[in-house]
Structure 1
Amino acid sequence: MASTTVSGVGSGIDTSGIITSLVNAEKAPKQLQINTQSQKATTQLSSIGKIQAALDAFRGALKTQGTDNSFSGLVGTSSDEKVATMTAGAGASNGSFSLVVSQLAQPSKLSSANFAGGASSVINKGSTATTLTISQSGKNFDVSVAPGATLQQVRDSINSQFGTAGLSANILTDSNGSRLILTSTNGGVGTDLTLSGNSGVDTGYKVVNPPQNAKYTIDGIAAESKTNNITEAVSGVSIKLLTVSPPVDKATPNILTALTISVSTSTTALKSGVKGFVDTYNALLKAMTSETAVTKSAAGDPVAATLTGDSTLRTLQSAIRNEFNKMSGNGALKSLAQFGVETDQTTGLLSIDDKQWDNAMKTNAADLSSIFTGKDGLLARLTTATDAYAKPTTGILATRSTSLSDSLKDLAKQQSALDQRIDAYQTTLTNKYAAMDTLVAQLRQQSSNVLGTLNALNNQKNN
């Protein structure tokens, strides 16, 4: 007979092994159910999260492409980028303009009196706080100067309190000491900075730069701006002034050289915009495919992905493809396929046929913009088609993620309840087998005593 482990001292029976087997048999079915459901919910939640992130990125790109002039093909150029640069945005149209810059805008800048002790000079030597008031355009900015505060600490207080309000403080140090330099990021005439108060910093300050407007002419029309970034002079065009235009020659220093700013259609820019859309579309499609495609194992057996056959993903993919395949626009060419945007029949991924693209650009470049833009354009339609899936809390994907998360929480509660029930069951079995072992031990002892008495009586009879 095979040997056994004796855990019952009285009975000699392996009660521990019996208890373990009974407990495992009681726990196994429910534990298997919890493990299976938990693994399924966890993997689905992860996959839904990946799809939702990819969809958010796709919709974000659609929004950007709809507002950054991606499909107008318009580019802005400057004949002298040392003087001014320009970019074409929404609302721009083809054209060129003559620009002369006679003055740049500059902000107000002040310098305090010199402090011989440098940046560590004590500004407030008294026992109570003083105040430095900075005024600009009818607004006062009060800086409290604590007893013992240094020039450096005053600078830090200005920057921390009023940096977002357009004020910037620095310290300029030379062999004579240090000065507080106060500058405004809000430039233009009427934005003069002034100092007042009883801090001592306001005493003896001087104006380094008075604020001034930028002055320029466009096609001979004079204009001014409080900043060097011009956004309203030409519709849809942003101009950045960098320096004053150079003179035509030394003999006539007051006659400045005009530069040309122009907006023109660029097929390269158009292709870049379409490629951006293609890349964005492909990224979303790859994310969905990775969670739904059936692959093969090393043995050649089919392996389903987490969301293979999932109806939600099938509907989303169908909604996107339907909008992509629709005709749109108000030109002769009304589909991306006519511009050489091809769909791989196996993967569904998009690519651009360069030859067909070049041929379409020669005669129909203007048709491309209306395919993408406008309230009925591809960008707007794709956004609308995915709205129901992408809403942060009430969308189809968000609702499903919430449901899966709730399922995992419920499974965690079931696991806790199962553990408690099994612990109680094991305790009950342990107590019962312990009582049985004690009873068997007692019976064996009584049996031994009876046998001992009978043996003694038998021995007396024999004698």
Structure 2
Amino acid sequence: MAGTTITGVGSGFDTQAIVKSLVDAERAPKQAQINLQSQKATTQLSSIGKIQAALDAFRGALASMGTDSSFTGLTGTSSDEKVATMTANQTAANGSFALIVNQLALPSKLSTATYAGGASTVVNSTDKATTLTITQSGKNFDLKVPAGATLQQVRDSINSTFGTSGLSANVLTDSTGSRLILTSTKGGVGSDLTMSGNSGIDTGYKVVDVPQNAKYTIDGIAAESTTNSISDAVSGVSIKLLALSPTVTANDKTPNPDRTALTISVSTSTTALKSGVKGFVDTYNALLKAMNAETKVTKDAAGNSIAATLTGDATMRTLQSAIRNEFNALSGNGTLKSLAQFGVTSDQDTGALSIDAKRWDKAVLTNAADLTSIFSGKTGLLARMTAATEVYAKPSTGILATRTASLSESLKDLIKDQTSLDERITTMQDSLTRKYTAMDTLVAQLRQQSSSILGTLNAISNSKNSDN
């Protein structure tokens, strides 16, 4: 079709406009169908994607709530957080303990000899690679030192190669030069680092710190740990040692001086309970808000109803119903078995949850422990909501994922339909162009013949008139 022009010179008709009208009339119905279906599939795909993301976030929050102490109301406190901090998880129980920190765990630390040329000193001046072997707990870490490598490059290579194994290297520089400092995240007795090999970097290295265990007492019972993070001393409690306990006598420098105990305690806090429930409410409302945005009928300025992309969608209705049913169901083994009894109510229009402060304070005063059984366990609210949304949220086989895949395929088919329509219309336009061009040429020829005949007749008529 490119380069073809219909002039209508012979016929006097605007044949180009005629062809365009015929082509447009042929294209319009199918094009309108493709445009409508494409727009519908695209908007639905976007809406389902938003709800999928909100549902994933909701389920992720449920999983986190199920592993922490959100609904136990238990809080861990330390009377001296400069010495030790603590947290209580869902398996903890109320209680307090006296803790004394006598020694902190330390990792092994080594220092190489000093290089007067600084960090840029070439540590392998040969034309061949050498090997630096770092050993810890019977395991060798062999580092290739290329020809011409500098101290800084060795440091960078150790960190990039063995960083995930707990080894760490730095370059320490002073007025005399630079040296490589090697340490490990693994501490405790028996975790000593050593260096060997044929690189020469190990020559003259010295031990800066000998690894040692943390030593502490809890209620007078002595214990040790290879790390300063202790999770097995008190059930459900994690303790982080930060400093030595202060000595009973100020500035006591004697070996093993008496030290002052701090108190670590686990207690039930209604404030923590309310914070946990509010976290659930906020998470629930965020999912509901995302779903409402894609399903609710709204009003414009004139008061006309405007349907959302997924208004009336059966999948959305069943998902919302599944979530609300689990929220309204009774659970737990306490006196109070629903959040509504703790003052958690839902808005009749939006479904959003809120906490009635007066009803909450009254219920939690005597029945705080009931909240744990409402939320926790295999039949608790968290587990039930997770199970109820599982069929929708599975990454590749869930209902939302399946619909997303189906809509994506529909869009691909519509692209093929558009290509087919374009090709058919192009063929039709080419055909009509040729036909109207031929028609116009024929009309021009007929006109020329007509003019020629008329000219001849006129000449004959004029000749006869002359003879008379």
Q: What is the number of residues matched between the two proteins?
A: 459
- Determine whether 1:312 maps to 2:336: no
Q: Which one of the candidate residues 359, 363, 367 is aligned to 2:366?
A: 363
1:224 is paired with a residue whose SS is strand
Amino acid at match of 2:70: S
| Equivalent residue number for residue 61 of structure 2 | 61
| Equivalent residue number for residue 234 of structure 2 | 234
Within 2, Cα distance between the matches of 1:121 and 1:251?
A: 44
Amino acid at match of 1:272: S
| Equivalent residue number for residue 85 of structure 1 | 85
| Equivalent residue number for residue 260 of structure 2 | 257
Amino acid at match of 2:305: P
Within 2, Cα distance between the matches of 1:312 and 1:125?
A: 71
| Equivalent residue number for residue 3 of structure 2 | none
Q: Which one of the candidate residues 274, 277, 283 is aligned to 2:277?
A: 274
Amino acid at match of 2:191: T
Instruction: Give the alignment of 1:130-169 within 5 angstroms.
Output: 130-169=130-169
Instruction: Tell me the alpha carbon deviations over residues 266-306 of structure 1, each in whole angstroms, 9 at most, x when there is no partner.
Output: 00000000000000111111111111111112221111111
Instruction: Give the alignment of 1:73-152 within 5 angstroms.
Output: 73-152=73-152
Within 2, Cα distance between the matches of 1:145 and 1:317?
A: 62
Amino acid at match of 1:356: R
Amino acid at match of 2:47: S
| Equivalent residue number for residue 321 of structure 1 | 324
Amino acid at match of 1:194: T
| Equivalent residue number for residue 17 of structure 1 | 17
Within 1, Cα distance between the matches of 2:373 and 2:221?
A: 34
Q: How far has the Cα of 1:399 moved from its partner?
A: 0.7
| Equivalent residue number for residue 170 of structure 2 | 170
- Determine whether 1:396 maps to 2:399: yes
Amino acid at match of 2:77: T
Q: How far has the Cα of 1:250 moved from its partner?
A: 3.5
Q: How far has the Cα of 1:251 moved from its partner?
A: 8.4
Within 2, Cα distance between the matches of 1:354 and 1:41?
A: 44
Within 2, Cα distance between the matches of 1:251 and 1:71?
A: 44
339-348 vs 176-185, which moves further: 339-348
Within 2, Cα distance between the matches of 1:59 and 1:308?
A: 24
Amino acid at match of 1:54: A
Amino acid at match of 1:217: T
Amino acid at match of 1:352: I
Instruction: Tell me the alpha carbon deviations over residues 200-253 of structure 1, each in whole angstroms, 9 at most, x when there is no partner.
Output: 110000000011110001111111111100011111101000001111114865
Amino acid at match of 1:15: T
Within 2, Cα distance between the matches of 1:142 and 1:195?
A: 10
| Equivalent residue number for residue 338 of structure 1 | 341
Instruction: Tell me the alpha carbon deviations over residues 334-367 of structure 1, each in whole angstroms, 9 at most, x when there is no partner.
Output: 1111111111122211100111111112111111
- Determine whether 1:414 maps to 2:430: no
TM-score by length of 2: 0.97
Q: How far has the Cα of 1:369 moved from its partner?
A: 0.7
Instruction: Tell me the alpha carbon deviations over residues 54-82 of structure 1, each in whole angstroms, 9 at most, x when there is no partner.
Output: 11111111111111111000000001111
Within 2, Cα distance between the matches of 1:164 and 1:438?
A: 82
| Equivalent residue number for residue 442 of structure 2 | 439
- Determine whether 1:374 maps to 2:371: no
1:108 is paired with a residue whose SS is strand
Using the aligned pairs only, state the percent identity: 75
2:211 is paired with a residue whose SS is coil
Within 2, Cα distance between the matches of 1:153 and 1:118?
A: 12
Structure 2 unaligned spans of 5+? 1-5
269-278 vs 243-252, which moves further: 243-252
Within 1, Cα distance between the matches of 2:373 and 2:281?
A: 17
1:53 is paired with a residue whose SS is helix
| Equivalent residue number for residue 350 of structure 1 | 353
| Equivalent residue number for residue 207 of structure 2 | 207
Within 1, Cα distance between the matches of 2:31 and 2:122?
A: 73
Within 2, Cα distance between the matches of 1:392 and 1:129?
A: 48
| Equivalent residue number for residue 430 of structure 1 | 433
1:109 is paired with a residue whose SS is strand
Within 2, Cα distance between the matches of 1:405 and 1:133?
A: 55
Within 2, Cα distance between the matches of 1:81 and 1:162?
A: 33
Within 2, Cα distance between the matches of 1:29 and 1:285?
A: 39
Instruction: Tell me the alpha carbon deviations over residues 70-125 of structure 1, each in whole angstroms, 9 at most, x when there is no partner.
Output: 10000000011110000001311111111010000010000000111111111111
1:247 is paired with a residue whose SS is coil
Instruction: Tell me the alpha carbon deviations over residues 385-436 of structure 1, each in whole angstroms, 9 at most, x when there is no partner.
Output: 1111111111111111111111111111000000000000000000111111
| Equivalent residue number for residue 184 of structure 2 | 184
Amino acid at match of 2:208: V
Q: Which one of the candidate residues 285, 306, 310 is aligned to 1:303?
A: 306
Instruction: Give the alignment of 1:24-35 within 5 angstroms.
Output: 24-35=24-35
1:61 is paired with a residue whose SS is helix
Within 2, Cα distance between the matches of 1:391 and 1:144?
A: 46
Within 2, Cα distance between the matches of 1:240 and 1:428?
A: 84
2:371 is paired with a residue whose SS is helix
Amino acid at match of 1:159: N
Q: How far has the Cα of 1:50 moved from its partner?
A: 1.0
Q: How far has the Cα of 1:7 moved from its partner?
A: 2.5
Within 1, Cα distance between the matches of 2:175 and 2:74?
A: 54
Amino acid at match of 1:408: L
TM-score by length of 1: 0.98
Structure 1 unaligned spans of 5+? 1-5
Amino acid at match of 2:162: F
Amino acid at match of 1:311: A
Judge conservation of contact 2:74–2:90 (CA < 8 Å) in 1.
no
Within 1, Cα distance between the matches of 2:313 and 2:177?
A: 74
Over 2 Å off, 4+ runs: 250-253
